[in-house]
């Protein structure tokens, strides 16, 4: 509907018009035409939400209507799901109960609405335990009726489409949560189109400038891409027409988020992303039995027109992906000298690719029932770890998330029994899949009769025998190579139990130490010890003491008995490392400043603008991502009322947005080039005499940038250098990179983490 046409009609007319659109969309599907119950659900919800407005100012009922339209058009569900979508906020926001819904609409709709109500506050609350509990509710509800999560994803998609009306910190919370949980869930359920839109919208609100820049570049190169598409597909169309195949061909453009992600991971600019265009051939098979053969017939035909890449054939027709995706992918060399991927799908395969598992239902005999198989296996795997809840929400979400992208391999026990494991599973994962006791006591494995360590990655067809010892105990480093949700949850639970025992012992030791020294067990004294040992929480401190990683002695005694130190304040007058070449600071002072930059508390008014609730609070710059002025950043307010500043795309920040969204603070830089920060620049090129000299001349003389450290490697004619520089902000970094790219024989320049 044209939004401009809506300005001149009343709310009631708008609501009625939107509902009629929903009915028309539903009537054009293959589902049974249960218009009466949908109309009944709409009238009920409309009356329940009467007079309520959304943040955007539109009537509240427009949101359930929009969700119902997504459920109908973009996920392909029927009347039960449409009714549930229309009613999904009624129990949460009005005086009606689940019992009322059941009495009026029956048990199935009531069950789905109840599931949606349980997770209606979002997956995440304020406290870690509440977040984990809510996520458990989500998963348990998923396993009872998958339509709950499908409707929840539709709800999140509409919220993301209307995110612009919310405050910035709310946008960051919801966008982070979406990227961390909902996009992977949509992907795992085969909702590729929705997954892509969720990623793009999250990226748009987290990095608006980068989003706009890539969008503009895509728009500027659209005509050129269209010409390539037309020329490439012309002979393919002629061949398919000659074969009498009913088909249509689409151009698939790489999503903005995918482009940005590739630019970040591959350290390449937009101009070096060569797979922006892919071609999709969607055909109507003569009959279902010929579907697979026709895919390969088309592949053979187009491979005679263009040369195929020998290593890039992907057969997901004979062996579908775990999320139900089926297609034949082949990469062909176009006449322009570039490789172009062609995706061959039947119309049924395309529906499954667009609408996920829900699309299977349309093709089942009798038009009803749910397709089980891979989805049920995945849900069963997730349910296994719900018996062992993690008290820390971030750990719990990480553990679950491991299963969201997993593909499968098949391995054998010594007796020949087949076990299904996620791809990249290790021998340790296999041990825990057999039994927790086998996992906790395993010391190694034999794979195909050869001894391997527990970290050994398994492959399909491996025969695996686990070796155990009663004296073996779970090791913390196991978490670095355990990949399955079950193994990680069991290891974490065992380690946490040990940690609690250490904490109890540590508390006894510390109290005895304080009593002996005549020092009161006050918060200020705990803080002194936390700062001395560079530990974040009291619990970590007690565990370290209990496990004898920390042995209390003279240093602790001296720190506890001295007055509260304020030595850090002397560094407020220093830059984060001077970029003045005539600076007289000693090397020792420079190192001290660098160390304080990453660890000490700085006055926020000097560097950043934070929202009102944190304007007076101190903050630290996160050492995990080392943001500098100009980077997109956010603040995280911890339990000790300290604000940590992260890059928005920092993996730690992504988890914090997802799990502690209400503690996220909108933040922007306000430095005016007053301080300097350390960054790392990597460059690669063809080695030649004088290249290093030219590079350092550009950095030091042309740009006046202070170089702290240089590491150069030259191997077989390839030059690779890593420079540690002091800069003021991102603009400095961009100027450095642009100038270095102009140096002859330098092929790649990028900023990296340490």
Per DSSP, the residues of 108-177 read HHHHHHHHHHHTTT-S--SSHHHHHHHHHHHHHHHHH-THHHHHHHHHHHHHHHTGGGS-HHHHHHHHHH
Chain segment 678-717, per-residue pLDDT in tens: 888 998 888 888 888 888 888 887 777 888 888 888 877 7
CATH of the domain at 708: 3.30.70.260
Q: Which residue has the higher pLDDT, 116 or 577?
A: 116
Q: Of 630, 651, 669, which closes a domain?
A: 669
Residue 718: strand pairing partners: 686, 715
Token pair recorded at residue 484: 């399955």
Does a structural domain hold residue 525?
no
Count CB neighbours of 310 within 10 A: 7
Query: Catalytic site residue 93?
Result: yes
651 part of a folded domain = yes
Model's pTM, two decimal places?
Answer: 0.67
Q: How far apart are CA 675 and CA 596, in angstroms?
A: 13
- Give yes or no: residues 635 and 723 share one domain: no
DSSP state of 581: T
pLDDT in the model for residue 251: 93
pLDDT band with cut points at 50, 70 and 90 for residue 384: low
Domains of the chain: total: 4
> What CATH number should be reported for the domain holding residue 338?
3.30.460.10
340 domain residue, yes or no: yes
> Do 45 and 141 belong together in one domain?
yes
Residue 744 sits in the same domain as residue 650: no
Cross-strand bridge partners of residue 290: none
Residue keyed to tokens 């949908």: 38
Same domain, 240 and 360: yes
Buried b (16+ CB within 10 A) or exposed e, 675-707: bbbbbbbebbbebeeebeeebeebbeeebebbe
Q: Comparing C-alpha atoms, which of 209, 26, 18 is closest to residue 633? A: 209
Instruction: For residue range 645-658, list pLDDT tens digits in order.
Output: 888 888 888 778 77
- Over the Cα atoms of the chain, what is R_g? 30
pLDDT at 125: 42
Tell me how far apart the alpha carbons of residues 687 and 745 are, in angstroms, rounded to a whole number: 7
The answer to whether residue 252 is domain-embedded is yes
Q: Quick one: pLDDT at residue 281?
A: 95
Interaxial angle between packed helices 107-118 and 147-161, expressed in degrees from 0 to 180 and rounded to the nearest 10: 50
For the stretch 388-444, pLDDT in tens is: 555 455 565 666 665 555 566 778 888 877 777 878 899 999 999 888 899 989 988
Instruction: Evaluate whether residue 442 is within a structural domain.
Output: no
**442-447: strand order across its sheet:** 450-452, 442-447, 464-468
Query: How far apart, in whole angstroms, are the C-alpha atoms of residue 742 and residue 752?
Result: 20
Angle at 486 between CA 483 and CA 490, to 5 degrees: 105
Instruction: Assign 382 to helix, strand or coil.
Output: helix
Query: pLDDT class for 608, splitting at 50, 70, 90?
Result: low
- Whether 653 and 682 map to the same domain: the answer is no
Identified catalytic residue from 93, 102, 600, 670: 93
Give the Cα-Cα-Cα angle 356, 361, 367 (nearest 5 degrees).
Answer: 160
d(CA 538, CA 558): 19
- In this predicted structure, the answer to whether residue 597 has a pLDDT above a threshold of 50 is no
Same domain, 17 and 37: yes
- Copy the structure tokens of residue 234: 């012309």
| pLDDT beyond 90 at 273 | no
Q: Which of 384, 465, 496 is nearest to 136 (CA)?
A: 384
Quote the CA–CA distance of 671 and 528 in Å, as a whole number.
Answer: 31
Q: Is 664 in the same domain as 682?
A: no
pLDDT number for residue 196: 93
Clarify whether residues 657 and 688 are in a common domain: no
Given 130, 165, 200, the domain boundary residue is 165
* pLDDT tens figures, 479-522: 888 888 788 888 888 888 888 888 888 888 888 888 888 888 87
**664 and 695 co-located in one domain:** no
- CB < 8 Å & 24+ apart, contacts of 44-50: 44/86, 44/87, 44/90, 44/104, 45/86, 45/87, 45/89, 45/90, 46/15, 48/90, 48/93, 48/94, 48/96, 49/89, 49/90, 49/93, 49/94
Percent with pLDDT over 70 in the chain: 80
Stronger pLDDT, 46 or 473, i.e. the higher one: 46
How open is the CA angle 483-489-491, to the nearest 5 degrees? 85
Same domain, 353 and 262: yes
Contact indicator for 618, 601 with CB cutoff of 8 Å: yes
**CB-based contact 20:70 (threshold 8 Å):** no
Report the Cα 635 to chain-centroid distance in Å.
19
22-36 core/surface letters (b: 16 or more CB in 10 A; e: else): bbeebeebebeeeee
Q: Which of 100-104, 343-347, 661-665 has the weakest average pLDDT? A: 661-665
CATH number, position 130 = 1.10.3210.10
Write down the catalytic residue from 92, 498, 540, 590: 92
Kindly give, in sequence order, each residue whose CB lies less than 8 Å from that of residue 134, ignoring residues fewer than 6 positions away. 118, 119, 121, 122, 123, 124, 125
- Please count the CA atoms within 13 angstroms of the CA of 241 that sit on its side-chain side: 7
pLDDT computed for residue 386 by the predictor: 57
For residue 293, being part of any structural domain is answered with: yes
Residue 7 falls within a domain, yes or no? yes
Q: How far is CA 550 from the centre of its chain?
A: 36
The predicted pLDDT at position 613 comes to: 45
- The overall average pLDDT reported for the chain is 80
What integer pLDDT is reported at residue 275 of this predicted model? 86
Decide: 371 and 349 in contact? Cβ < 8 Å. no
Residues 661 and 694 in one domain: no
* CB atoms closer than 10 angstroms to residue 93: 14
Q: Which of 669, 675, 681, 668 is nearest to 728 (CA)?
A: 675
Q: Is the per-residue pLDDT at 568 higher than 50?
A: no
DSSP assignment letter at 59: B
Q: How far apart are CA 754 and CA 752, in angstroms?
A: 6
- DSSP annotation string for 471-512: T----GGGGGT--SHHHHHHHHHHHHHHHHHHHHHHHHHHHH
pLDDT over 90 (residue 44): yes
Two structure tokens written together for 213: 């820049």
- Do 148 and 31 sit in the same domain of this protein? yes
Phi and psi torsions of 232, nearest 5°: -70, -40
Host domain of residue 237:
215-367
560 found inside a domain? no
- The DSSP H or E segment spanning 360 is helix 357-362
Asked which of 18-32, 191-205, 358-372 is least confident by mean pLDDT, the reply is 358-372
Query: In terms of C-beta density within 10 A (0-12 exposed, 13-18 middle, 19 or more buried), how is residue 745 classed?
Result: exposed
Residue 314: strand pairing partners = 329
Structure confidence by residue, pLDDT tens digits, 517-557: 888 887 888 888 888 888 878 888 888 888 888 888 888 88
pLDDT band at 564 (very low <50, low <70, confident <90, very high): very low
Domain end among 612, 639, 669: 669
Predicted confidence (pLDDT) per residue in 287-336, tens digit:
888 899 999 999 999 999 999 988 788 888 887 776 778 899 999 998 88
């Amino acid at each position: 509907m044209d939004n401009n046409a809506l300005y001149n009609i009343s709310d009631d007319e708008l609501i009625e018009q939107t509902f009629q659109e929903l009915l028309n969309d539903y009537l054009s599907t293959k589902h049974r035409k249960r218009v009466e119950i949908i109309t009944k659900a709409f009238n009920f919800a409309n009356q329940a939400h009467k007079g309520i407005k959304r943040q955007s100012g539109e009537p509240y009922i427009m949101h359930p209507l929009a969700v119902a339209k997504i459920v109908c058009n973009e996920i392909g569900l029927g009347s039960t799901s449409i009714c549930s979508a229309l009613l999904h906020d009624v129990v949460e926001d009005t005086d009606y109960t689940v019992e009322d819904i059941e009495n009026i609409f029956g048990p199935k709709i009531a069950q789905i609405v109840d599931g949606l109500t349980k997770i209606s506050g979002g997956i995440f609350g304020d406290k870690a335990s509440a977040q984990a509990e809510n996520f458990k509710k989500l998963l348990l509800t998923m396993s009872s009726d998958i339509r709950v999560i499908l409707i929840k994803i539709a709800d999140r998609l509409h919220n993301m489409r209307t995110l612009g009306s919310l405050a910035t910190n709310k946008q960051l919370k919801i966008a982070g949560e979406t990227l961390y949980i909902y996009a992977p869930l949509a992907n795992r359920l085969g909702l590729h189109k929705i997954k892509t839109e969720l990623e793009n919208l999250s990226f748009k609100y987290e990095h608006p400038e980068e989003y706009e820049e890539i969008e503009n570049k895509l728009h500027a190169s659209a005509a050129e891409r269209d010409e390539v598409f037309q020329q490439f597909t012309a002979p393919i169309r002629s061949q398919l027409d000659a074969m009498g195949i009913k088909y249509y061909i689409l151009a698939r453009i790489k999503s903005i988020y995918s482009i940005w992600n590739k630019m970040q991971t591959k350290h390449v600019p937009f101009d070096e992303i060569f797979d922006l265009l892919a071609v999709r051939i969607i055909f109507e098979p003569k009959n279902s039995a010929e579907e697979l053969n026709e895919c390969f017939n088309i592949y053979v035909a187009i491979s005679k027109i263009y040369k195929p890449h020998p290593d890039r054939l992907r057969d997901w027709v004979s062996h579908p992906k775990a999320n139900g995706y089926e297609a034949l992918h082949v990469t062909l060399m176009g006449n322009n000298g570039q490789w172009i991927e062609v995706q061959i799908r039947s119309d049924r395969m395309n529906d499954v690719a667009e609408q996920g598992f829900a699309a299977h239902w349309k093709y089942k005999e009798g038009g009803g029932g749910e397709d089980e198989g891979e989805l049920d296996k995945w849900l069963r795997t997730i349910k296994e770890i719900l018996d062992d809840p993690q008290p820390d929400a971030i750990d719990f979400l990480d553990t679950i998330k491991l299963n969201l992208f997993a593909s499968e391999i098949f391995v054998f026990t010594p007796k020949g029994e087949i076990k299904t494991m996620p791809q990249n599973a290790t021998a340790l994962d296999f041990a825990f899949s057999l039994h927790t006791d086998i996992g906790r006591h395993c010391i190694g494995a034999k794979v195909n009769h050869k001894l391997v360590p527990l970290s050994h990655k398994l492959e399909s067809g491996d025969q695996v025998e686990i070796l155990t010892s009663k004296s073996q105990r779970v090791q913390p480093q196991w978490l670095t190579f355990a990949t399955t949700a079950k193994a990680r949850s069991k290891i974490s639970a065992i380690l946490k139990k040990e940690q609690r025992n250490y904490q109890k012992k540590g508390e006894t030791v510390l109290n005895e130490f304080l009593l002996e020294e005549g020092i009161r067990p006050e918060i200020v004294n705990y803080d002194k010890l936390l700062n001395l040992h560079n530990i974040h929480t009291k619990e970590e401190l007690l565990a370290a003491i209990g496990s004898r990683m920390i042995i209390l002695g003279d240093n602790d005694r001296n720190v506890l008995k001295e007055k509260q130190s304020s030595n850090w304040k002397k560094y407020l007058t220093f830059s984060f490392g001077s970029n003045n070449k005539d600076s007289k600071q000693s090397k020792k002072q420079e190192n001290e400043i660098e160390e304080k930059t990453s660890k000490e508390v700085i006055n926020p008014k000097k560097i950043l603008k934070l929202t009102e609730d944190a304007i007076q609070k101190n903050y630290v710059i996160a050492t995990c991502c080392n943001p500098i002025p100009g980077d997109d950043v956010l603040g995280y307010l911890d339990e000790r009322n300290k604000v940590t500043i992260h890059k928005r795309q920092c993996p730690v920040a992504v988890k914090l947005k997802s799990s502690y969204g209400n503690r996220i603070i909108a933040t922007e830089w306000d430095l005016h080039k007053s301080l300097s920060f350390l960054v790392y620049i990597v460059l690669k090129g063809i080695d030649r005499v004088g290249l290093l000299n030219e590079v350092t001349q550009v950095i030091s003389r042309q740009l006046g940038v202070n170089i702290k450290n240089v590491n150069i490697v030259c191997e077989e004619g390839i030059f690779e250098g890593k420079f540690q520089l002091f800069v003021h902000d991102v603009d400095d970094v961009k100027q450095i990179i642009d100038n270095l790219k102009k140096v002859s024989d330098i092929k790649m320049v990028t900023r990296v983490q340490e």
